[in-house]
């Protein structure tokens, strides 16, 4: 009898304890989720804030900048900045050239990095580890180290003296797409070591059964590669393609190195303010006109918006390929 009563009492005590434990637990969880929300919103704000400032400045008139009562929401709404930036960046031309350049390079890089990544993932050959180490080394060496030889290489282009023997002079490949094509096709473009690494990790993680079945059915290595392995690699390839497209789009290093006359967006944006001030100067019959810092920064912001709008549109639609890429790539599985 007493033992039963004891048991009942124990049960009620434990129930009480449980309830208070749970309410404490709930409370802590609630507190944490509030703190977490504040933190996440705060960090998002830090990231998005410059974008908002850029946009709000780009639709203001210059006098709004000097007006203390104006913050973020312009008093004098105008699209004139966009007009100026559009004209002096020669936006349609720069846009088309950039699209061509980025598409070309990212397609070439995609092809070469996929092939090379597959080669490293699935075949054994002498010096493989050394060569793969060099893939990583390419990532580490800053491109500025080999900048001048590359520049001269393409300025006086020659293949073992064949071209100069045939035509009497070397080729000047600057201001054309050729340096980009050659570098991309050989996996030496911007951050290509990273893409090779990603593709290699992906292929290493792919199941071998399909491949073996294809070999047994008599398919050669290349046929197996594009009939069996490529379809499974498409999401990863989209990721590589997008990364290389986006990074090529804003790249200043190679575009200022190889292109002076060929007009692409990065060069257009960085020469926007000098161009505008030059145009004003020649309108003033040659008297040098300097733009006010506020106005030039306004133009820069407007130009930046024009450059990033295509990227934002791409990101809106393909966001998961960027974000999920690293999770799927097995990058973390070293």
Interacting residue with another protein among 86, 178, 247, 280 (CB under 8 A): 247
Q: How far is the CB of 176 from another protein (least distance, A)?
A: 16
Beta bridge partners of 171: 157
148 binds another protein (CB under 8 A): yes
Helix (H, G, I), strand (E, B) or coil at 126: coil
Shortest distance, position 245 Cβ to another protein, whole Å: 10
Residues 226-245 that bind another protein (CB under 8 A): none
Least CB distance to another protein at residue 150 (A): 5
Which has the closest alpha carbon to 307: 78, 106, 58, 60? Answer: 58
What is the total count of residues that contact another protein (CB under 8 A)?
Answer: 98
Q: Which of 122, 176, 181, 277 binds another protein (CB under 8 A)?
A: 122
Alpha-carbon distance 248 to 242, whole Å? 10
The three-state secondary structure class of 171 is strand
Helical H segments across the chain, by residue range = 2-58, 62-66, 80-88, 91-122, 128-140, 147-155, 162-167, 178-185, 192-205, 209-216, 221-224, 230-250, 253-258, 265-270, 272-283, 293-323, 325-328
Q: Does residue number 30 form part of the binding site for another protein (CB under 8 A)? A: no
| One of 81, 84, 97, 112 touching another protein (CB under 8 A) | 112
* 110 binds another protein per the rule CB under 8 A: no
Give yes or no for residue 269 binding another protein (CB under 8 A): yes
> Binding string, 183-222, against another protein, x = CB under 8 A?
x-xxxx-------x------------------------x-
Q: Supply the minimum distance, in Å, between the C-beta of residue 123 and another protein.
A: 3
Q: What is the dihedral of CA 117, 119, 123, 126, to 10 degrees?
A: -100
For position 54 contacting another protein by CB under 8 A, the verdict is yes
Nearer to another protein, 38 or 103 (CB): 38
Do 180 and 254 meet the contact criterion of CB atoms below 8 Å apart? yes
Instruction: Output the smallest distance, CB 19 to another protein, in A.
Output: 20
Which member of 103, 139, 213, 283 binds another protein (CB under 8 A)?
A: 139
The stretch near another protein (CB under 8 A) out of 8-16, 88-96, 138-146, 228-236 is 138-146
Which CB sits closer to another protein, 278 or 296?
A: 296
Quick check: 24 binds another protein (CB under 8 A)? no
Contacts of 243 (CB under 8 A, 6+ apart): 191, 194, 195, 322, 325
For residue 172 the two structure tokens come to 């000047």
Of the ranges 3-11, 86-94, 274-282, 320-328, which one interacts with another protein (CB under 8 A)?
320-328
Stretch near another protein under the rule CB under 8 A, chosen from 2-10, 14-22, 206-214, 304-312: 304-312
Two tokens at 113? 């990095």
129 binds another protein (CB under 8 A): no
Alpha-carbon distance of 109 to 103, in angstroms, equals 10
Residues in region 71-100 near another protein by CB under 8 A = none
Where in 279-298 is the site for another protein (CB under 8 A)?
A: 293-294, 297-298
- Determine which residue in the list 59, 94, 101, 135 makes contact with another protein, applying CB under 8 A: 135
DSSP tag of 146: G
Residue 182's closest CA among 257, 100, 109, 263?
A: 109
Distances (CA, A) of 279 to 2, 5, 87, 89, 303: 101, 97, 11, 12, 17
Separation in Å, CA 143 to CA 147, 209, 298: 6, 40, 32
Q: Using CB under 8 A, which of 1, 5, 68, 125 touches another protein?
A: 125
């Amino acid at each position: 009898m007493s033992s039963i009563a004891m048991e009942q009492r124990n049960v009620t005590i434990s129930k009480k304890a449980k309830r208070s434990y749970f309410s404490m637990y709930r409370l802590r969880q609630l507190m944490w989720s509030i703190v977490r929300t504040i933190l996440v919103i705060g960090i998002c704000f830090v990231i998005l804030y410059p974008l908002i400032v850029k946009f709000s400045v780009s639709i203001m008139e210059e006098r709004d900048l000097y007006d203390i009562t104006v913050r973020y929401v312009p008093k004098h709404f105008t699209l004139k900045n966009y007009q100026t930036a559009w004209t002096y960046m020669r936006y349609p031309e720069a846009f088309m050239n950039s699209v061509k350049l980025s598409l070309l390079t990212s397609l070439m890089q995609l092809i070469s990095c996929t092939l090379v990544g597959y080669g490293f993932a699935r075949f054994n050959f002498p010096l493989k580890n050394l060569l793969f180490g060099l893939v990583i080394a390419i990532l580490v060496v800053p491109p500025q180290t080999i900048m001048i030889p590359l520049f001269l290489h393409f300025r006086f282009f020659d293949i073992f003296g064949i071209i100069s023997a045939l035509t009497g002079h070397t080729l000047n490949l600057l201001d054309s797409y050729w340096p980009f094509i050659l570098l991309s096709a050989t996996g030496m473009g911007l951050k290509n070591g990273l893409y090779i690494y990603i593709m290699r990790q992906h292929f290493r993680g792919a199941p071998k059964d399909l491949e073996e079945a294809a070999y047994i059915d008599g398919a050669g290595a290349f046929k197996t590669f594009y009939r069996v392995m490529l379809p499974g690699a498409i999401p990863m390839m989209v990721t590589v393609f997008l990364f290389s497209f986006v990074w090529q789009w804003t790249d200043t290093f190679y575009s200022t190195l190889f292109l002076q006359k060929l007009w692409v967006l990065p060069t257009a944006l960085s020469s926007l303010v000098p161009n505008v001030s030059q145009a004003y100067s020649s309108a003033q019959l040659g008297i040098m006109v300097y733009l006010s810092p506020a106005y030039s920064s306004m133009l820069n912001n407007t130009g930046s918006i024009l450059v990033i709008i295509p990227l934002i549109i791409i990101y809106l639609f393909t966001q998961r390929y960027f974000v999920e890429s690293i999770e799927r790539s097995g990058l973390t599985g070293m």
